[in-house]
A and B are shown apart, each in its own frame.
Chain A
Amino acid sequence: MNSKKLLFPYVLVTPAVIITVLIVFIPIIETSIMSLFNYVIWKPKDYKFIFLSNYIKVLKDPVFWISLKNTAIWVTGTVSLQLILGFVTAMLLNRDFWWRGIARSLILIPWVTPSVITALMWRWMYDGNSGVINDLLVRVGILKEYFPWLANNSTALGSVMVALMWQGFPFFSIMILAGLQAIPDSLYEAAEVDGATPLQRFTMITLPMLIPILFTSILLRIIWVANSMDVIYVMTGGGPGYSTYTLPLYSFIKAYKFMDFGYASTLAIFLTLFLVAVVAGYVVKVLKSQGSME
Protein backbone atom coordinates (compact mmCIF):
# COMPACT_ATOMS: atom_id res chain seq x y z
CA MET A 1 0.00 0.00 0.00
CA ASN A 2 2.66 2.45 1.11
CA SER A 3 5.07 1.75 -1.72
CA LYS A 4 2.18 1.98 -4.14
CA LYS A 5 1.44 5.44 -2.76
CA LEU A 6 5.06 6.46 -3.16
CA LEU A 7 5.20 5.24 -6.72
CA PHE A 8 2.04 6.98 -7.90
CA PRO A 9 3.63 10.38 -8.79
CA TYR A 10 6.37 8.57 -10.71
CA VAL A 11 3.89 6.47 -12.65
CA LEU A 12 2.14 9.67 -13.74
CA VAL A 13 5.30 11.33 -15.08
CA THR A 14 6.80 8.23 -16.66
CA PRO A 15 5.19 8.50 -20.12
CA ALA A 16 6.32 12.11 -20.53
CA VAL A 17 9.83 11.31 -19.34
CA ILE A 18 10.22 8.24 -21.56
CA ILE A 19 8.97 10.11 -24.61
CA THR A 20 11.25 13.10 -24.08
CA VAL A 21 14.25 10.85 -23.55
CA LEU A 22 13.42 9.01 -26.78
CA ILE A 23 12.65 11.98 -28.98
CA VAL A 24 14.78 14.73 -27.45
CA PHE A 25 17.74 13.45 -25.47
CA ILE A 26 18.75 10.50 -27.61
CA PRO A 27 18.61 12.63 -30.79
CA ILE A 28 20.76 15.31 -29.15
CA ILE A 29 23.35 12.72 -28.21
CA GLU A 30 23.18 11.54 -31.79
CA THR A 31 23.91 15.07 -33.02
CA SER A 32 27.04 15.23 -30.93
CA ILE A 33 28.16 11.86 -32.27
CA MET A 34 27.42 12.88 -35.87
CA SER A 35 29.53 15.98 -35.44
CA LEU A 36 32.55 13.69 -35.10
CA PHE A 37 31.89 12.00 -38.42
CA ASN A 38 32.23 12.86 -42.06
CA TYR A 39 28.60 12.24 -42.88
CA VAL A 40 27.15 13.43 -46.17
CA ILE A 41 23.87 11.58 -46.78
CA TRP A 42 24.37 10.97 -50.48
CA LYS A 43 28.00 9.87 -50.08
CA PRO A 44 27.59 6.84 -47.79
CA LYS A 45 31.00 5.48 -48.80
CA ASP A 46 32.83 8.47 -47.36
CA TYR A 47 31.20 7.97 -43.94
CA LYS A 48 33.97 7.80 -41.40
CA PHE A 49 35.07 8.90 -37.95
CA ILE A 50 37.12 12.09 -38.18
CA PHE A 51 37.15 13.15 -34.52
CA LEU A 52 37.38 16.94 -34.20
CA SER A 53 38.09 17.71 -37.86
CA ASN A 54 34.64 19.24 -38.37
CA TYR A 55 35.22 21.55 -35.42
CA ILE A 56 38.56 22.72 -36.81
CA LYS A 57 36.96 23.18 -40.22
CA VAL A 58 34.22 25.32 -38.70
CA LEU A 59 36.73 27.62 -36.98
CA LYS A 60 38.52 28.12 -40.30
CA ASP A 61 35.30 28.67 -42.22
CA PRO A 62 34.76 32.38 -43.14
CA VAL A 63 31.01 31.77 -43.59
CA PHE A 64 30.84 30.60 -39.97
CA TRP A 65 32.35 33.88 -38.75
CA ILE A 66 30.04 35.94 -40.97
CA SER A 67 27.07 33.97 -39.65
CA LEU A 68 28.22 34.45 -36.08
CA LYS A 69 28.54 38.21 -36.57
CA ASN A 70 25.11 38.33 -38.21
CA THR A 71 23.61 36.29 -35.37
CA ALA A 72 24.91 38.81 -32.84
CA ILE A 73 23.49 41.75 -34.83
CA TRP A 74 20.25 39.86 -35.45
CA VAL A 75 19.67 39.01 -31.78
CA THR A 76 20.59 42.37 -30.25
CA GLY A 77 18.80 44.35 -32.97
CA THR A 78 15.62 42.30 -33.07
CA VAL A 79 15.23 41.91 -29.32
CA SER A 80 15.81 45.66 -28.76
CA LEU A 81 13.29 46.62 -31.44
CA GLN A 82 10.70 44.23 -30.03
CA LEU A 83 11.37 45.41 -26.49
CA ILE A 84 11.04 49.13 -27.31
CA LEU A 85 7.83 48.78 -29.29
CA GLY A 86 6.44 46.25 -26.81
CA PHE A 87 7.21 48.54 -23.89
CA VAL A 88 5.52 51.56 -25.48
CA THR A 89 2.49 49.44 -26.38
CA ALA A 90 2.23 48.07 -22.84
CA MET A 91 2.42 51.56 -21.30
CA LEU A 92 -0.39 52.72 -23.59
CA LEU A 93 -2.53 49.65 -22.94
CA ASN A 94 -2.13 50.09 -19.20
CA ARG A 95 -4.30 53.23 -19.36
CA ASP A 96 -8.06 53.11 -19.00
CA PHE A 97 -10.05 53.86 -22.17
CA TRP A 98 -13.02 52.51 -24.03
CA TRP A 99 -11.36 50.55 -26.87
CA ARG A 100 -8.62 49.00 -24.77
CA GLY A 101 -9.99 45.43 -25.01
CA ILE A 102 -10.16 45.56 -28.80
CA ALA A 103 -6.70 47.14 -29.08
CA ARG A 104 -5.19 44.47 -26.87
CA SER A 105 -6.72 41.66 -28.93
CA LEU A 106 -5.75 43.14 -32.29
CA ILE A 107 -2.16 43.68 -31.22
CA LEU A 108 -1.79 39.97 -30.54
CA ILE A 109 -2.50 39.02 -34.15
CA PRO A 110 1.12 39.23 -35.40
CA TRP A 111 2.17 36.93 -32.60
CA VAL A 112 0.00 33.99 -33.77
CA THR A 113 0.81 34.53 -37.42
CA PRO A 114 2.59 31.52 -38.92
CA SER A 115 6.24 32.33 -39.67
CA VAL A 116 5.86 31.44 -43.32
CA ILE A 117 2.96 33.88 -43.68
CA THR A 118 4.87 36.59 -41.80
CA ALA A 119 7.79 36.10 -44.15
CA LEU A 120 5.64 36.05 -47.30
CA MET A 121 3.62 39.12 -46.36
CA TRP A 122 6.73 41.16 -45.64
CA ARG A 123 8.57 39.87 -48.66
CA TRP A 124 5.63 40.99 -50.78
CA MET A 125 5.52 44.41 -49.11
CA TYR A 126 9.28 44.87 -49.58
CA ASP A 127 9.12 43.81 -53.23
CA GLY A 128 11.43 45.88 -55.43
CA ASN A 129 9.00 46.17 -58.35
CA SER A 130 5.52 46.25 -56.85
CA GLY A 131 6.04 46.49 -53.10
CA VAL A 132 3.71 48.70 -51.11
CA ILE A 133 6.53 49.96 -48.86
CA ASN A 134 8.39 51.35 -51.88
CA ASP A 135 5.26 52.99 -53.19
CA LEU A 136 4.50 54.64 -49.84
CA LEU A 137 8.07 55.88 -49.38
CA VAL A 138 8.14 57.33 -52.89
CA ARG A 139 4.77 59.02 -52.38
CA VAL A 140 5.90 60.59 -49.13
CA GLY A 141 9.11 61.70 -50.84
CA ILE A 142 11.59 59.76 -48.70
CA LEU A 143 12.67 57.68 -51.70
CA LYS A 144 13.21 58.87 -55.26
CA GLU A 145 12.75 55.46 -56.80
CA TYR A 146 11.92 51.87 -55.77
CA PHE A 147 14.59 50.16 -53.74
CA PRO A 148 15.24 46.38 -53.60
CA TRP A 149 15.25 46.11 -49.81
CA LEU A 150 15.85 42.37 -49.60
CA ALA A 151 18.26 42.16 -52.52
CA ASN A 152 20.72 44.70 -51.19
CA ASN A 153 23.63 43.64 -48.98
CA SER A 154 23.35 46.52 -46.56
CA THR A 155 19.56 46.59 -46.06
CA ALA A 156 18.57 42.90 -46.21
CA LEU A 157 19.30 41.96 -42.59
CA GLY A 158 17.70 45.12 -41.21
CA SER A 159 14.60 44.59 -43.32
CA VAL A 160 14.15 41.06 -42.01
CA MET A 161 14.65 42.35 -38.47
CA VAL A 162 11.72 44.73 -38.92
CA ALA A 163 9.53 41.80 -40.00
CA LEU A 164 10.56 39.88 -36.89
CA MET A 165 9.96 42.93 -34.73
CA TRP A 166 6.42 42.92 -36.07
CA GLN A 167 5.95 39.26 -35.23
CA GLY A 168 7.51 39.41 -31.76
CA PHE A 169 6.63 42.73 -30.11
CA PRO A 170 3.21 41.53 -28.85
CA PHE A 171 5.01 39.06 -26.59
CA PHE A 172 6.77 41.91 -24.80
CA SER A 173 3.57 43.95 -24.61
CA ILE A 174 1.69 41.14 -22.89
CA MET A 175 4.45 40.38 -20.44
CA ILE A 176 5.16 44.02 -19.58
CA LEU A 177 1.46 44.82 -19.34
CA ALA A 178 1.05 41.99 -16.84
CA GLY A 179 3.97 43.42 -14.91
CA LEU A 180 2.51 46.94 -14.94
CA GLN A 181 -0.82 45.71 -13.68
CA ALA A 182 0.84 43.93 -10.79
CA ILE A 183 2.27 47.21 -9.44
CA PRO A 184 0.03 48.32 -6.53
CA ASP A 185 -1.63 51.73 -7.04
CA SER A 186 -0.77 52.67 -3.47
CA LEU A 187 2.89 53.10 -4.50
CA TYR A 188 1.97 55.72 -7.07
CA GLU A 189 -0.39 57.46 -4.67
CA ALA A 190 2.31 57.67 -2.03
CA ALA A 191 4.78 59.04 -4.57
CA GLU A 192 2.27 61.66 -5.66
CA VAL A 193 1.78 62.75 -2.05
CA ASP A 194 5.55 63.11 -1.78
CA GLY A 195 5.51 65.34 -4.86
CA ALA A 196 7.22 63.02 -7.35
CA THR A 197 7.07 64.08 -11.01
CA PRO A 198 5.71 61.63 -13.62
CA LEU A 199 9.27 60.97 -14.80
CA GLN A 200 10.41 60.25 -11.26
CA ARG A 201 7.45 57.94 -10.76
CA PHE A 202 8.49 56.06 -13.87
CA THR A 203 12.18 55.70 -12.99
CA MET A 204 11.72 55.15 -9.26
CA ILE A 205 8.64 52.91 -9.23
CA THR A 206 7.67 51.53 -12.64
CA LEU A 207 11.09 50.47 -13.89
CA PRO A 208 12.38 48.83 -10.70
CA MET A 209 9.09 46.97 -10.24
CA LEU A 210 9.31 45.68 -13.80
CA ILE A 211 12.85 44.32 -13.51
CA PRO A 212 11.90 40.68 -12.77
CA ILE A 213 9.50 40.46 -15.69
CA LEU A 214 11.87 42.28 -18.06
CA PHE A 215 14.61 39.88 -17.05
CA THR A 216 12.54 36.79 -17.79
CA SER A 217 11.05 38.03 -21.03
CA ILE A 218 14.33 39.36 -22.46
CA LEU A 219 15.99 36.07 -21.65
CA LEU A 220 13.23 34.05 -23.33
CA ARG A 221 13.30 36.33 -26.38
CA ILE A 222 17.10 36.16 -26.79
CA ILE A 223 16.88 32.39 -26.93
CA TRP A 224 13.87 32.41 -29.22
CA VAL A 225 15.22 35.00 -31.66
CA ALA A 226 18.66 33.40 -31.78
CA ASN A 227 17.10 30.09 -32.77
CA SER A 228 14.48 31.34 -35.15
CA MET A 229 15.46 31.28 -38.77
CA ASP A 230 12.27 30.31 -40.59
CA VAL A 231 11.40 33.94 -41.36
CA ILE A 232 14.90 34.65 -42.68
CA TYR A 233 14.90 31.46 -44.69
CA VAL A 234 11.65 32.27 -46.48
CA MET A 235 12.40 35.97 -46.92
CA THR A 236 15.97 35.86 -48.22
CA GLY A 237 17.25 32.28 -48.00
CA GLY A 238 20.39 33.79 -46.42
CA GLY A 239 21.16 36.10 -49.33
CA PRO A 240 22.14 38.25 -51.02
CA GLY A 241 25.53 36.57 -50.71
CA TYR A 242 25.88 35.65 -47.06
CA SER A 243 24.45 38.90 -45.77
CA THR A 244 21.53 37.33 -43.88
CA TYR A 245 23.19 34.07 -42.85
CA THR A 246 22.80 33.38 -39.15
CA LEU A 247 24.25 30.34 -37.38
CA PRO A 248 21.06 28.25 -37.22
CA LEU A 249 20.30 29.13 -40.83
CA TYR A 250 23.78 28.11 -41.94
CA SER A 251 23.39 24.80 -40.15
CA PHE A 252 19.92 24.29 -41.64
CA ILE A 253 21.14 25.03 -45.18
CA LYS A 254 24.12 22.69 -44.76
CA ALA A 255 21.75 19.90 -43.74
CA TYR A 256 18.81 20.62 -46.02
CA LYS A 257 20.51 21.70 -49.24
CA PHE A 258 23.92 20.03 -49.05
CA MET A 259 22.90 17.00 -46.94
CA ASP A 260 26.15 17.45 -45.03
CA PHE A 261 24.91 16.20 -41.67
CA GLY A 262 28.30 15.97 -39.97
CA TYR A 263 29.13 19.59 -40.61
CA ALA A 264 25.58 20.78 -39.91
CA SER A 265 25.65 18.96 -36.55
CA THR A 266 28.92 20.65 -35.65
CA LEU A 267 27.42 24.06 -36.44
CA ALA A 268 24.36 23.21 -34.34
CA ILE A 269 26.60 22.34 -31.42
CA PHE A 270 28.54 25.59 -31.75
CA LEU A 271 25.23 27.46 -31.74
CA THR A 272 24.12 25.64 -28.60
CA LEU A 273 27.41 26.38 -26.84
CA PHE A 274 27.17 30.08 -27.73
CA LEU A 275 23.59 30.23 -26.51
CA VAL A 276 24.50 28.60 -23.22
CA ALA A 277 27.40 31.05 -22.82
CA VAL A 278 25.27 34.10 -23.64
CA VAL A 279 22.43 33.01 -21.38
CA ALA A 280 24.83 32.24 -18.52
CA GLY A 281 26.61 35.57 -19.03
CA TYR A 282 23.32 37.43 -19.08
CA VAL A 283 22.06 35.75 -15.92
CA VAL A 284 25.32 36.44 -14.06
CA LYS A 285 25.38 40.08 -15.18
CA VAL A 286 21.79 40.72 -14.15
CA LEU A 287 22.24 39.00 -10.81
CA LYS A 288 25.36 41.10 -10.14
CA SER A 289 23.69 44.39 -11.03
CA GLN A 290 20.74 43.48 -8.83
CA GLY A 291 23.12 42.61 -6.02
CA SER A 292 24.88 45.98 -6.29
CA MET A 293 21.59 47.80 -6.15
CA GLU A 294 20.60 46.36 -2.80
Chain B
Amino acid sequence: MRRRIVRGLFTLHIPLLVIVLFALAPYIWMFISSLTPEKDLYTKEFHYFPEHPTTENYFRIFSKINFTSNIKDSLIVAFSTMILGLGISVTASYSFSRFRFFGRNFLLVQFLVINMFPIVLLLIPLFVIMRFLHALDTHFALIIAYSTFTIPFSTWMMTGFFNAIPRELDESAQVDGCTRFTAMTRVIIPIAMPGIAATGIYIFITAWNEFLYAAILTGTHVKTIPVALQNLIGEYEIAWGLLTAGGVVSAIPVIILFFFIQKRLISGMTAGAVKA
Protein backbone atom coordinates (compact mmCIF):
# COMPACT_ATOMS: atom_id res chain seq x y z
CA MET B 1 0.00 0.00 0.00
CA ARG B 2 2.68 2.45 1.00
CA ARG B 3 4.80 1.50 -1.98
CA ARG B 4 1.85 2.24 -4.24
CA ILE B 5 1.42 5.70 -2.79
CA VAL B 6 5.12 6.46 -3.22
CA ARG B 7 5.04 5.18 -6.77
CA GLY B 8 2.01 7.30 -7.55
CA LEU B 9 3.84 10.30 -6.18
CA PHE B 10 6.77 9.85 -8.57
CA THR B 11 4.96 8.62 -11.65
CA LEU B 12 1.96 10.91 -11.45
CA HIS B 13 1.64 13.68 -8.88
CA ILE B 14 5.12 15.20 -8.98
CA PRO B 15 5.56 15.20 -12.78
CA LEU B 16 2.09 16.64 -13.29
CA LEU B 17 2.65 19.26 -10.61
CA VAL B 18 5.85 20.31 -12.42
CA ILE B 19 3.92 20.67 -15.68
CA VAL B 20 1.14 22.67 -14.00
CA LEU B 21 3.78 24.93 -12.44
CA PHE B 22 5.41 25.37 -15.84
CA ALA B 23 2.03 26.39 -17.26
CA LEU B 24 1.47 28.93 -14.48
CA ALA B 25 5.02 30.18 -13.88
CA PRO B 26 4.99 33.03 -16.44
CA TYR B 27 1.74 34.32 -14.93
CA ILE B 28 3.03 34.06 -11.40
CA TRP B 29 6.16 35.96 -12.38
CA MET B 30 4.18 38.58 -14.30
CA PHE B 31 1.92 39.10 -11.29
CA ILE B 32 4.83 39.45 -8.87
CA SER B 33 6.59 41.91 -11.19
CA SER B 34 3.43 43.96 -11.56
CA LEU B 35 3.38 44.48 -7.78
CA THR B 36 7.00 45.64 -7.71
CA PRO B 37 7.85 49.36 -7.97
CA GLU B 38 9.34 50.07 -11.40
CA LYS B 39 12.78 51.07 -10.05
CA ASP B 40 13.10 47.91 -7.95
CA LEU B 41 12.69 45.74 -11.05
CA TYR B 42 16.17 46.47 -12.31
CA THR B 43 18.26 46.30 -9.13
CA LYS B 44 21.12 43.81 -8.95
CA GLU B 45 19.65 42.09 -5.91
CA PHE B 46 17.00 39.63 -6.92
CA HIS B 47 13.76 39.40 -4.98
CA TYR B 48 11.17 36.71 -5.49
CA PHE B 49 8.73 38.65 -3.40
CA PRO B 50 8.73 42.42 -3.76
CA GLU B 51 10.26 44.22 -0.77
CA HIS B 52 7.82 47.09 -1.12
CA PRO B 53 4.71 45.61 -2.77
CA THR B 54 2.63 48.28 -4.46
CA THR B 55 -0.32 48.69 -6.79
CA GLU B 56 1.13 51.84 -8.35
CA ASN B 57 1.77 50.08 -11.70
CA TYR B 58 -1.95 49.40 -11.98
CA PHE B 59 -2.79 53.04 -11.39
CA ARG B 60 -0.04 54.25 -13.69
CA ILE B 61 -1.25 52.11 -16.58
CA PHE B 62 -4.53 54.00 -16.48
CA SER B 63 -3.03 57.45 -15.95
CA LYS B 64 0.10 57.25 -18.10
CA ILE B 65 -1.27 55.62 -21.21
CA ASN B 66 -4.85 55.83 -22.34
CA PHE B 67 -5.64 52.32 -21.18
CA THR B 68 -9.36 52.94 -20.59
CA SER B 69 -9.84 53.85 -24.24
CA ASN B 70 -7.76 50.81 -25.28
CA ILE B 71 -10.09 48.60 -23.28
CA LYS B 72 -13.06 50.32 -24.92
CA ASP B 73 -11.63 49.74 -28.41
CA SER B 74 -10.94 46.09 -27.64
CA LEU B 75 -14.46 45.64 -26.30
CA ILE B 76 -16.11 47.28 -29.31
CA VAL B 77 -14.10 45.23 -31.79
CA ALA B 78 -14.42 41.90 -29.96
CA PHE B 79 -18.14 42.33 -29.33
CA SER B 80 -19.00 43.40 -32.88
CA THR B 81 -16.88 40.60 -34.35
CA MET B 82 -18.78 38.15 -32.18
CA ILE B 83 -22.22 39.44 -33.24
CA LEU B 84 -21.30 39.56 -36.93
CA GLY B 85 -19.63 36.15 -36.81
CA LEU B 86 -22.52 34.43 -35.05
CA GLY B 87 -25.17 36.13 -37.15
CA ILE B 88 -23.58 35.05 -40.40
CA SER B 89 -22.54 31.53 -39.40
CA VAL B 90 -25.59 30.39 -37.48
CA THR B 91 -27.85 29.94 -40.51
CA ALA B 92 -25.01 28.54 -42.60
CA SER B 93 -24.12 25.89 -40.05
CA TYR B 94 -27.78 24.99 -39.55
CA SER B 95 -28.03 24.45 -43.28
CA PHE B 96 -24.84 22.34 -43.39
CA SER B 97 -26.12 20.22 -40.53
CA ARG B 98 -29.70 19.71 -41.76
CA PHE B 99 -29.60 19.55 -45.53
CA ARG B 100 -27.66 17.54 -48.09
CA PHE B 101 -27.51 19.86 -51.08
CA PHE B 102 -25.39 20.12 -54.19
CA GLY B 103 -22.10 21.85 -53.35
CA ARG B 104 -22.39 21.23 -49.61
CA ASN B 105 -19.15 19.28 -49.21
CA PHE B 106 -17.26 21.70 -51.43
CA LEU B 107 -18.37 24.65 -49.29
CA LEU B 108 -17.61 22.86 -46.03
CA VAL B 109 -14.08 21.97 -47.17
CA GLN B 110 -13.60 25.51 -48.36
CA PHE B 111 -14.47 26.87 -44.92
CA LEU B 112 -11.95 24.50 -43.39
CA VAL B 113 -9.19 25.46 -45.82
CA ILE B 114 -9.67 29.19 -45.24
CA ASN B 115 -8.58 28.69 -41.64
CA MET B 116 -5.23 27.42 -42.88
CA PHE B 117 -4.25 30.35 -45.09
CA PRO B 118 -1.25 32.33 -43.85
CA ILE B 119 -2.28 35.58 -42.21
CA VAL B 120 0.13 37.58 -44.39
CA LEU B 121 -1.72 36.40 -47.47
CA LEU B 122 -4.78 38.33 -46.26
CA LEU B 123 -3.16 41.05 -44.21
CA ILE B 124 -1.51 42.73 -47.17
CA PRO B 125 -4.56 43.01 -49.48
CA LEU B 126 -6.85 43.95 -46.58
CA PHE B 127 -4.56 46.88 -45.83
CA VAL B 128 -4.78 48.01 -49.46
CA ILE B 129 -8.57 47.58 -49.51
CA MET B 130 -9.08 49.44 -46.23
CA ARG B 131 -6.81 52.21 -47.43
CA PHE B 132 -8.88 52.48 -50.59
CA LEU B 133 -12.10 52.62 -48.53
CA HIS B 134 -10.52 55.18 -46.17
CA ALA B 135 -11.26 52.73 -43.38
CA LEU B 136 -7.76 52.39 -41.95
CA ASP B 137 -7.58 53.00 -38.23
CA THR B 138 -11.29 52.25 -37.65
CA HIS B 139 -13.11 49.55 -35.71
CA PHE B 140 -14.72 48.48 -38.97
CA ALA B 141 -11.38 47.45 -40.48
CA LEU B 142 -10.61 45.12 -37.60
CA ILE B 143 -14.10 43.64 -37.45
CA ILE B 144 -13.84 42.73 -41.14
CA ALA B 145 -10.30 41.41 -40.75
CA TYR B 146 -11.24 39.19 -37.81
CA SER B 147 -14.30 37.88 -39.61
CA THR B 148 -11.97 36.31 -42.21
CA PHE B 149 -11.10 33.62 -39.68
CA THR B 150 -13.98 33.73 -37.17
CA ILE B 151 -16.76 33.06 -39.70
CA PRO B 152 -15.22 29.89 -41.17
CA PHE B 153 -14.23 28.63 -37.74
CA SER B 154 -17.58 29.20 -36.10
CA THR B 155 -19.42 27.70 -39.05
CA TRP B 156 -17.51 24.47 -38.47
CA MET B 157 -17.92 24.57 -34.75
CA MET B 158 -21.66 25.16 -34.83
CA THR B 159 -22.29 22.60 -37.56
CA GLY B 160 -20.99 20.11 -35.03
CA PHE B 161 -23.27 21.43 -32.30
CA PHE B 162 -26.31 21.29 -34.59
CA ASN B 163 -25.41 17.75 -35.64
CA ALA B 164 -25.75 16.71 -32.01
CA ILE B 165 -29.44 17.70 -32.01
CA PRO B 166 -31.67 14.96 -33.44
CA ARG B 167 -33.38 15.77 -36.73
CA GLU B 168 -36.66 14.35 -35.46
CA LEU B 169 -37.07 17.58 -33.53
CA ASP B 170 -37.22 19.60 -36.77
CA GLU B 171 -39.75 17.20 -38.18
CA SER B 172 -42.04 17.18 -35.17
CA ALA B 173 -41.86 20.99 -35.00
CA GLN B 174 -43.05 21.08 -38.61
CA VAL B 175 -45.84 18.63 -37.84
CA ASP B 176 -46.88 20.96 -35.02
CA GLY B 177 -47.30 23.80 -37.50
CA CYS B 178 -43.88 25.39 -37.78
CA THR B 179 -42.51 26.30 -41.19
CA ARG B 180 -38.97 25.25 -42.05
CA PHE B 181 -37.78 28.65 -41.05
CA THR B 182 -39.62 28.88 -37.73
CA ALA B 183 -38.59 25.30 -36.90
CA MET B 184 -35.04 26.62 -37.07
CA THR B 185 -35.57 29.92 -35.25
CA ARG B 186 -38.05 28.81 -32.58
CA VAL B 187 -36.99 25.25 -31.86
CA ILE B 188 -33.49 24.28 -32.95
CA ILE B 189 -31.55 27.49 -32.36
CA PRO B 190 -32.83 27.84 -28.78
CA ILE B 191 -31.78 24.22 -28.08
CA ALA B 192 -28.36 24.89 -29.60
CA MET B 193 -27.95 28.08 -27.55
CA PRO B 194 -25.27 26.77 -25.15
CA GLY B 195 -23.11 25.75 -28.11
CA ILE B 196 -23.78 29.02 -29.91
CA ALA B 197 -22.84 30.96 -26.78
CA ALA B 198 -19.61 28.99 -26.39
CA THR B 199 -18.71 29.69 -30.00
CA GLY B 200 -19.51 33.37 -29.48
CA ILE B 201 -17.29 33.61 -26.44
CA TYR B 202 -14.52 31.89 -28.35
CA ILE B 203 -14.83 34.49 -31.13
CA PHE B 204 -14.74 37.21 -28.51
CA ILE B 205 -11.53 35.79 -27.01
CA THR B 206 -9.72 35.45 -30.36
CA ALA B 207 -10.67 39.00 -31.33
CA TRP B 208 -9.62 40.33 -27.94
CA ASN B 209 -6.24 38.57 -28.21
CA GLU B 210 -5.38 39.38 -31.83
CA PHE B 211 -2.33 41.49 -32.53
CA LEU B 212 -1.01 41.40 -36.12
CA TYR B 213 -4.05 42.76 -37.95
CA ALA B 214 -4.51 45.33 -35.20
CA ALA B 215 -0.92 46.48 -35.56
CA ILE B 216 -1.10 46.99 -39.31
CA LEU B 217 -4.71 48.14 -39.82
CA THR B 218 -5.08 50.41 -36.78
CA GLY B 219 -2.92 52.07 -34.18
CA THR B 220 -3.61 55.79 -33.86
CA HIS B 221 -7.26 56.54 -33.10
CA VAL B 222 -8.24 52.97 -32.59
CA LYS B 223 -5.75 51.06 -30.48
CA THR B 224 -6.63 47.70 -28.98
CA ILE B 225 -4.92 46.40 -25.82
CA PRO B 226 -2.33 44.14 -27.50
CA VAL B 227 -1.11 47.01 -29.68
CA ALA B 228 -1.07 49.40 -26.72
CA LEU B 229 1.02 46.96 -24.71
CA GLN B 230 3.40 46.34 -27.58
CA ASN B 231 3.85 50.09 -27.99
CA LEU B 232 5.22 50.23 -24.45
CA ILE B 233 8.31 48.49 -25.74
CA GLY B 234 10.64 51.37 -26.52
CA GLU B 235 13.77 51.26 -28.60
CA TYR B 236 16.12 51.33 -25.59
CA GLU B 237 13.87 51.07 -22.59
CA ILE B 238 11.01 48.82 -21.67
CA ALA B 239 8.61 49.79 -18.89
CA TRP B 240 8.21 46.31 -17.41
CA GLY B 241 6.18 47.48 -14.43
CA LEU B 242 3.51 48.95 -16.70
CA LEU B 243 3.69 46.05 -19.13
CA THR B 244 3.21 43.37 -16.51
CA ALA B 245 0.30 45.26 -14.91
CA GLY B 246 -1.30 45.72 -18.34
CA GLY B 247 -0.73 42.06 -19.07
CA VAL B 248 -2.52 40.98 -15.90
CA VAL B 249 -5.45 43.31 -16.57
CA SER B 250 -5.95 42.12 -20.13
CA ALA B 251 -5.39 38.39 -19.61
CA ILE B 252 -7.70 37.89 -16.64
CA PRO B 253 -11.06 38.48 -18.36
CA VAL B 254 -10.03 36.06 -21.11
CA ILE B 255 -9.11 33.33 -18.65
CA ILE B 256 -12.36 33.78 -16.73
CA LEU B 257 -14.47 33.69 -19.90
CA PHE B 258 -12.60 30.65 -21.09
CA PHE B 259 -13.33 28.69 -17.94
CA PHE B 260 -17.05 29.09 -18.61
CA ILE B 261 -16.88 27.54 -22.04
CA GLN B 262 -13.94 25.14 -21.89
CA LYS B 263 -15.96 21.93 -21.55
CA ARG B 264 -18.28 22.64 -24.45
CA LEU B 265 -15.56 24.10 -26.65
CA ILE B 266 -13.24 21.16 -26.14
CA SER B 267 -15.95 18.59 -26.77
CA GLY B 268 -16.79 20.46 -29.98
CA MET B 269 -13.18 20.60 -31.10
CA THR B 270 -12.20 17.04 -30.27
CA ALA B 271 -15.42 15.40 -31.49
CA GLY B 272 -14.50 15.79 -35.14
CA ALA B 273 -10.88 14.75 -34.69
CA VAL B 274 -11.63 11.58 -32.71
CA LYS B 275 -14.15 10.42 -35.25
CA ALA B 276 -11.81 11.08 -38.17
- Pairs across A and B, CB under 8 Å, 28 listed: A8-B180, A9-B95, A12-B94, A20-B152, A28-B121, A30-B128, A31-B121, A34-B124, A89-B16, A105-B259, A106-B23, A109-B23, A109-B27, A113-B209, A114-B211, A114-B226, A115-B211, A116-B209, A116-B226, A117-B250, A120-B230, A120-B243, A179-B274, A182-B274, A212-B273, A234-B211, A261-B128, A267-B120
Neighbouring A residues of B233 by C-beta, 8 Å: 120, 234
**Proximity bits, B13-50, A CB within 8 Å = 1, else 0:** 10110011011101101100100000001110010000
Asked whether, in the complex, the Cβ of A255 is within 8 Å of the Cβ of B124, the reply is yes
> Is B135's beta carbon under 8 Å from chain A?
no
**Proximity bits, A256-272, B CB within 8 Å = 1, else 0:** 10000100110111011
| Cα-based distance from A269 to B42 in the complex (angstroms) | 44
Neighbouring A residues of B209 by C-beta, 8 Å: 112-116
CB within 8 Å for A20 and B114 given contacts A97-B13, A106-B24: yes
How far is the CB of A37 from the nearest CB of chain B, in Å?
A: 11
CB within 8 Å for A117 and B216 given contacts A255-B123, A261-B124: no
Asked whether, in the complex, the Cβ of B114 is within 8 Å of the Cβ of A166, the reply is no
Instruction: For the complex of A and B, list the 6 residue pairs with the smallest distance between their C-beta atoms, beginning with the closest.
Output: A12-B95, A27-B125, A114-B209, A178-B270, A9-B99, A16-B92
> Is B205's beta carbon under 8 Å from chain A?
yes
Asked whether, in the complex, the Cβ of B259 is within 8 Å of the Cβ of A227, the reply is no
> Is A77's beta carbon under 8 Å from chain B?
no
Interface residues of A in 221-237 (CB under 8 A from B): 223, 226-227, 229-230, 233-234
> Is B191's beta carbon under 8 Å from chain A?
no
Interface residues of A in 197-255 (CB under 8 A from B): 212-213, 216-217, 223, 226-227, 229-230, 233-234, 248, 251-252, 255
Asked whether, in the complex, the Cβ of A256 is within 8 Å of the Cβ of B215, the reply is yes
> Is A93's beta carbon under 8 Å from chain B?
yes
Neighbouring B residues of A31 by C-beta, 8 Å: 121-122, 124-125
> Is B258's beta carbon under 8 Å from chain A?
yes
Asked whether, in the complex, the Cβ of B180 is within 8 Å of the Cβ of A114, the reply is no
Asked whether, in the complex, the Cβ of B119 is within 8 Å of the Cβ of A248, the reply is yes
Asked whether, in the complex, the Cβ of B16 is within 8 Å of the Cβ of A92, the reply is yes
> Is B269's beta carbon under 8 Å from chain A?
yes
| Cα-based distance from A248 to B117 in the complex (angstroms) | 11
Q: Which of A23, A117, A179 is B247 in contact with, Cβ under 8 Å?
A: A117
Neighbouring B residues of A16 by C-beta, 8 Å: 88-89, 91-92, 111, 151, 155
CB within 8 Å for A114 and B250 given contacts A24-B148, A109-B23: yes
CB within 8 Å for A271 and B118 given contacts A19-B147, A108-B262, A109-B255: yes
Neighbouring A residues of B12 by C-beta, 8 Å: 92, 95, 97
